[in-house]
Chains A and B, each alone.
Chain A
Amino acid sequence: MRAYTPKDNVQKKPYYTDRYWVAPQVAKHDVSSDAVFAEDLEAIKAQFDVLEAYIQVDQMVVIINPADNFAVIEMLKNERAYNQLSEMSAIDWLADEGKFEIFYQMLSMTKRKRLRIKCKIDEKESIQSVEKLFRSADWSEREMYDMFGIVINNHPFMKRILMPDDWEGFPLRKTYPLQGDEFAAWYEVDKIFGKEAREIIGPENRDPARIDRYDTERFARLGHEVPRGTDISNGEPDTPLVYQETEGVFMIEKFDAEKSVVISDRDR
């Protein structure tokens, strides 16, 4: 068993931080600068609470309450002609504010406009499925559940989509280590051979730069092959490419270039 290292603050300890680095911000514009978006925003505001709204890179971003997500998207689809849900997923802000941000990227083919609906939920909070409105949300919501652990209400098939069904942990959370936790490190060994095989198989080699130049138990250099287990610390022989044993193989003849016929006359 490897020693346990706390992984609660992975996000707070990146390898290198520049103290003076400021994240570049994309300029936000007022919604009134675009007539089509202003009209859409008025329609949303008439029925629902809008926490914030702005235009960024020619796309309107509307931040709403998470309880309204289904109704807002239904309204936008049926009344405001946003007839495509091109993308939806979540962002992990748990370390900063203890919340997930969920976004729905929508496209109106007739208006040629893109709009983004955002809402923030707590870690344990669940959210309503929009799969009834857009079939594309089916897999996206399953992926959200798989990667972030966000539970979706009224989803027809709430099951992991990418990771195995018996996986523990949610890999896209910032607290999840890239190289996997203890469960991930031993997953295939535990599942196939059982936990008692851990000591026999040993831990994963996670050092990609590890090269044992003199390991002839597992590797042989092409063109420098030696019998398995030979000590090559004093150099190894330079073996030319051989495709057969020197004495030949039973009933197989070696190709003799002298005896072969090269057809140069195509009319032959």
Chain B
Amino acid sequence: MAQHQVNYLKDGGLPVALTTIDKVVNWGRSNSLWALTYGLACCGIEMMASGASRYDFDRFGTIFRASPRQAELMVVAGTLTKKHAEFIRRLYDQMAEPKWVISMGSCANTGGMFNTYATVQGVDRVIPVDLYLPGCAPRPETLQYGVLMLQQKIRRESASRAQKPKRLM
């Protein structure tokens, strides 16, 4: 008996796509990651470069937004000072679920070379982080690769609204 598979999307097949709710929701989420502009230091320049025409973040659906209400991805690009820590937490809390955080560069990961009294030794002391990007500063390619890795992570997750909120503590 002939085994065959109908590809409904191609070859003049039916205009029907069969999928799961999880897949279609995660497809939407992962391909329209709107990022909050969080340029704190020199990594912010690389982040801007990834958004500009040469590296063109828009082709991955990542558009930088200036409001936490419109963003679901926070790219912490730069040195987080202790004075600013409460504000990054407040902006993180203002973002709507589901939300993800990329810690970009050495300073955001661990405090980097700023082993001083005024620098938070890693943003993961304040907000939960999904992806750590190494580098000082990471090139735009690294950030874009990181976002693609995050897309894969999102696609693996359940799209259920009952997904448990991430907590630092």
Interface set of A (CB-CB < 8 Å, partner B) = 163-164, 171, 176-181, 184, 187-189, 191-193, 197, 200-201, 204-206, 208, 218-219, 222, 225, 241-245, 249-252
A227 to B15: give the CA distance in the assembly, Å: 37
Seen from chain B, the residues whose Cβ lies within 8 Å of a Cβ on chain A are: 9, 17, 19, 23-24, 27, 30-31, 82-83, 85-86, 89, 110-113, 115-118, 120-122, 124-126, 132, 134, 142, 145, 148-149, 152, 155, 168-169
Q: Decide yes or no: A191 and B117 within 8 Å by CB, A241-B145, A243-B148 being known contacts.
A: no
Instruction: Knowing A204-B125, A219-B132, A245-B152 are in contact, say whether A178-B85 is a contact too (CB < 8 A).
Output: no
Task: State whether B24 touches A250 (Cβ < 8 A).
Answer: yes
A90-B3 Cα distance, complex, nearest whole Å: 85
The closest CB in chain B to the CB of A163 belongs to: B83
Most B CB contacts (10 A, CB to CB) among A164, A178, A200 go to A164
Residues of B within 8 A of A189 (CB): 125
The 20 sampled A-B contact pairs (Cβ below 8 Å) are: A164-B83, A177-B117, A178-B115, A178-B117, A179-B117, A180-B116, A180-B117, A180-B118, A184-B118, A188-B86, A191-B85, A193-B168, A201-B169, A206-B115, A218-B124, A243-B145, A249-B155, A250-B23, A251-B9, A252-B31
Task: Write out the residue numbers on chain A whose beta carbons fall within 8 Å of the beta carbon of B89.
Answer: 192
Q: Are A176 and B125 in contact (CB under 8 A)?
A: no
| Complex: A241 Cα to B17 Cα, angstroms | 29
| A108–B120 CA distance with the chains assembled, in angstroms | 43
Which B residues are in CB contact (< 8 Å) with A180?
116-118
Contact: A192 with B24, CB < 8 Å? no
- Within the assembled complex, what's the spacing in Å between the Cα atoms of A184 and B81? 11
Closest partner residue, chain A, to B19 (CB atom): A250
Q: How far is the CB of A196 from chain B (nearest CB, A)?
A: 10
Residue on B with the closest CB to A205?
Answer: B121
C-alpha gap A222/B146 in the complex (Å) = 9
Report A-chain residues with C-beta under 8 Å of the C-beta of B149: 225
Tell me how far the C-beta of B91 lies from the nearest C-beta in chain A, rounded to whole angstroms. 12
A241 to B152, CA, bound (A): 13
Interchain nearest-CB distance for A5 vs B (Å)? 15
Using CB atoms, name the residue of chain B closest to A204: B121
Q: How far does the alpha carbon of A115 sit from the alpha carbon of B145 in the complex, in Å?
A: 56
Q: In the bound complex, what is the Cα–Cα distance between A242 and B151 (angstroms)?
A: 12
Complex CA distance for A57 and B118, rounded to whole angstroms: 35
> A178, A225, A250: which has the most chain B beta carbons within 10 Å?
A250
Q: How far is the CB of A192 from chain B (nearest CB, A)?
A: 5
Q: What would 9 more interface pairs be, CB under 8 Å, given A178-B117, A187-B82, A188-B86?
A: A178-B116, A188-B125, A208-B112, A241-B145, A242-B152, A244-B148, A249-B30, A250-B27, A252-B27
Contacting residues, chain A, for B155 (C-beta < 8 A): 245, 249
Choose among A192, A197, A225 the residue that contacts B85 (Cβ–Cβ < 8 A): A192
Residue among A178, A201, A218, A244 making CB contact with B168, cutoff 8 Å = A201
CA distance A77 to B31 in the complex (A): 64
Residues in chain B near residue A179, CB distance under 8 A = 115-117
Given contacts A218-B132, A249-B155, contact A206 B82 (CB under 8 A): no
CA distance A201 to B121 in the complex (A): 12
Given known A218-B132, A245-B152, contact A184–B117 (CB-CB < 8 A): yes
Q: Which residues from B are CB-within-8-Å of A201? A: 125, 168-169
CB < 8 Å: which of A164, A191, A222 contacts B145?
A: A222
Evaluate contact between B82 and A188: CB separation under 8 angstroms. yes
A222 touches B134 (CB 8 A): yes
* CB <8 Å contact, A188 and B134: no
Residues in B with CB closer than 8 Å to A206 are: 115, 121
Q: Would you call A188 and B132 a contact (CB within 8 A)?
A: no
In the complex, are the beta carbons of B27 and A251 less than 8 A apart?
A: yes
Contacts A201-B169, A218-B132 hold; do A176 and B17 have CB atoms under 8 A apart? no
Q: Shortest Cβ distance from B23 into chain A, in angstroms?
A: 5
CB neighbours (8 Å) of B23 from chain A are: 250
CB distance from A226 to the nearest CB of B (A): 13
B149 closest partner in A (C-beta): A225
